[in-house]
Amino acid sequence: MTSQAQYAALPNAGFFRRLAAFIYDFFMASAIALVMTMLSLALTAIANALGVISLPDGMEHSTYLTQQWWSQLLIWGGVVVFFIWFWTRAGQTIGMRAWRLRVQNKDGSNISISQACLRLFTAAFGLGNLMVLVTRENLAFQDLWARCVVVTLPKPNK
C-alpha cells in the first residue's frame, strides 16, 4: 500500500482539531506579518537614509508605511506564501502538523497551487470551518470550493 493510498483512507478532520490548528497557524501568520513589517521598516529607513525617498519633517517610518501599497503587499504576500507553500509541499502547516491534520485531494495527493489559493481565499479568515459543524462529511466551505479534504493522521508508531 503506497503512502498516497494510505492518506486516501483517512477520516476527515473535525471542527475542534481544525480550530486548534487554526490558532497555532494564526500565531505563525502573525509572526510572519511582524517579520515582513520589520523588513518594510528597514527598507524605508535605508531608502530615506540614501535619499531615495524623502519623508516629510516629523513623519515616522511607520506612518509612511501605512500609506504604501507595496508594504501591505509584502506583509499579506508573506502570509499567503506561507500557507500555499506548506499546503502544496507537505499538505500541512505548522499548526496542522502539531494536530496531525493534512489537507489533500480525495485520492491522498497534495493539492495544487491553484487549489491552495482558492482554499485560502474562500476560508474567510477561518470562518469557513464553521461549516464542519453542520455537514456529515466534516467538510469546510473552503474544502468544498477547492475540492479537497482535511484528514486526521494516525498517531505515529512508537
Residue 67 belongs to a domain: yes
Residue 88 belongs to a domain: yes
Q: What is the pLDDT of residue 2?
A: 47
Cβ neighbours of 156 (radius 10 Å): 6
Q: What is the pLDDT of residue 68?
A: 92
What is the SS3 assignment for 147? Answer: coil
| Secondary structure element (H or E) that encloses residue 134, with its range | none
Predicted TM-score of the model (pTM): 0.89
Residue 63 belongs to a domain: yes
Number of domains in the chain: 1
Residue 6 belongs to a domain: no
How long, in residues, is the chain?
A: 158
Residue 64 belongs to a domain: yes
User: Cβ distance 148 to 111 under 8 Å?
Assistant: yes
In order along its 158 residues, the chain shows pLDDT tens digits of 446 777 778 999 999 999 999 999 999 999 999 999 999 999 999 999 999 999 988 889 999 999 999 999 999 999 999 999 999 999 999 999 999 999 999 999 999 999 999 999 999 999 999 999 999 999 999 999 999 999 999 998 87
Which residue range is the domain that position 86 belongs to?
11-152
The x, y and z cell numbers of residue 125, run together, are 479568515
Residue 2 belongs to a domain: no
Residue 107 belongs to a domain: yes
Q: What is the pLDDT of residue 1?
A: 43
Residue 3 belongs to a domain: no
The x, y and z cell numbers of residue 81, run together, are 506564501
Distance, CA of 22 to CA of 66 (rounded, Å):
27
